[in-house]
Structure 1
Amino acid sequence: MPYHKNKQQAFQAAQQGTEEARDVYNNIVQNRADYGSELKHLSNEINEAYEQINNALEVASENQKPKLEQFQQDLHTIVNEINNTP
């Protein structure tokens, strides 16, 4: 996704990226045969969301920064949950 200088567009891209990562995470079923490919898809979504958040933080207003930081925490929680799954 191209980098957006516009604060609102950058924020919306970060928000959407985080939501997409959450959706992929919530749809993963560990016992399915394609779990590995779903996990790779989730990893890609998380990496893209982190990139979008970092881009948005560069131009974010003071009001947007706490929400962007929450998006980062949400992604971190997903990563921890996946890493702690047996």
Structure 2
Amino acid sequence: MPYRNNKQQTDYQAAEQGYHHAIEVSKKLDTSTSEYGVYYSNFMTENEKACQQIANALETASEHQDKTLKSYLEELEALKNQFPKP
């Protein structure tokens, strides 16, 4: 049982960090700058990594964590759709 709890907590923390990192990267997106394409590509990569980490964490998540992780996924998906391809 301790292994499951440690894995659950580790997976959740990785997902949470990935989510926050993707959000920070998205703040650099500005369609009016010449660097938009680079930042867009970086954001899409970080967004995908975060979504994968969240999917992994959902496998062992508690009920409370499950709700939080699903809201993270929804927010990342909405954010991804907010920015046009360069």
Give the TM-score of the pair, scaled to structure 1.
0.85
Alignment correspondent of 2:3: none
Alignment correspondent of 2:54: 53
Deviations 1:4-45 (A, max 9, x none): x71111111111111111111112122221110110000000
Deviations 1:29-86 (A, max 9, x none): 2222111011000000000001000000011111210000010011011012114x89
For the aligned residue pairs, the C-alpha RMSD in angstroms reads 1.7
The runs of 5 or more residues in structure 1 that have no matched partner are: none
The code of the aligned residue for 1:12 comes to: Q
The runs of 5 or more residues in structure 2 that have no matched partner are: 1-5
Determine the C-alpha separation between the residues in 1 that align with 2:21 and 2:80: 14
Determine the C-alpha separation between the residues in 2 that align with 1:74 and 1:9: 21
Larger Rg over CA atoms? 2
- Alignment length, in residue pairs? 81
Identity among equivalent positions (%) equals: 32
Describe the SS at the equivalent of 1:32: coil
